[in-house]
């Protein structure tokens, strides 16, 4: 007798947090558009905290990729599956938005990007300001996805790449002028650290036990709250 495969376990807490973060980002951008149109930002500075949703999504991306592809590490035969999943989750919708953005720019202002800029926008290459303004976050995602692909193709080489990546970020933090206005500026940005935080969380979920997860959650929420003194 054959038994059906067990249903894939969903991390409901992660799904809930993802929804909350998405709403925060939407409110943040909506408030900015209202402020540009009217000169008044609704709810004052309260919606400014919505930008924290971006930070959360970078951490979440590192967590999800490591958690979902844990068994693919060091298995090059799984690389095609990984690339296909990343491609279908990002590019079809993004390309549709990009096409509309370029068409509006051409019709309303007679502006169309140069060939190099168009290639950057189509493939989300990590330099310059994209035509779709908010796609800068996807440029970071492409850096991370590409680096993680090497972990799948060759675990050892991938580890060396990530170690070198951390060194690059530290060097850029100490000497930011060395990477300013170069192709290394985005890969060495501190946003990239948040991918590593998510990856570490996924590893911890698989190998560690947390005696007081509720307390850990409360501490994290307090540290990231709008009233936390280290936030600007």
Residue-wise pLDDT for 46-91, tens only, equals 677 677 778 888 999 999 999 999 999 999 999 999 999 999 999 9
Coil/strand/helix, residue 218 = helix
CA pair distance 154, 73, nearest whole angstrom? 8
- Give pLDDT, residue 180: 83
Centroid of chain to Cα 66: 13
- Give pLDDT, residue 94: 96
Sign of CA dihedral 84, 69, 146, 79: negative
Which of the two residues, 153 and 129, has the higher pLDDT score?
153
- Give pLDDT, residue 133: 87
Residues of the chain above pLDDT 90, percent? 48
Residue 153's alpha-carbon distances to 78, 81, 125, 143, in angstroms, are 8, 12, 21, 16
Residue 43's alpha-carbon distances to 23, 48, 67, in angstroms, are 15, 9, 37
Residue 42's alpha-carbon distances to 15, 34, 39, 225, in angstroms, are 28, 7, 10, 19
């Amino acid at each position: 007798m054959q038994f059906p495969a067990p249903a894939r376990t969903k991390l409901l807490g992660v799904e809930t947090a993802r929804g909350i973060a998405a709403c925060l980002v939407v409110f943040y951008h909506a408030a900015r558009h209202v402020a540009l149109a009217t000169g008044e930002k609704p709810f004052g500075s309260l919606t400014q905290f919505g930008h924290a949703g971006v930070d959360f999504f970078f951490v979440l991306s590192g967590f999800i990729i490591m958690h979902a592809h844990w068994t693919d590490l060091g298995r090059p035969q799984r690389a095609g599956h990984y690339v296909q999943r990343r491609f279908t989750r990002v590019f079809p919708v993004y390309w549709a938005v990009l096409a509309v953005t370029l068409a509006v720019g051409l019709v309303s202002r007679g502006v169309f990007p140069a060939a190099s800029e168009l290639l950057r926008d189509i493939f989300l290459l990590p330099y310059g300001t994209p035509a779709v303004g908010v796609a800068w976050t996807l440029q970071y995602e492409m850096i991370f996805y590409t680096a993680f692909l090497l972990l799948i193709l060759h675990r050892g080489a991938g580890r060396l790449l990530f170690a070198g990546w951390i060194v690059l970020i530290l060097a850029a933090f100490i000497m930011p002028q060395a990477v300013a206005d170069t192709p290394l500026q985005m890969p060495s940005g501190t946003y990239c650290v948040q991918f590593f935080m998510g990856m570490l969380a996924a590893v911890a979920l698989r190998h560690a036990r947390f005696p007081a997860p509720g307390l850990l959650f409360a501490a994290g929420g307090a540290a990231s709250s709008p009233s936390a003194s280290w936030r600007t």
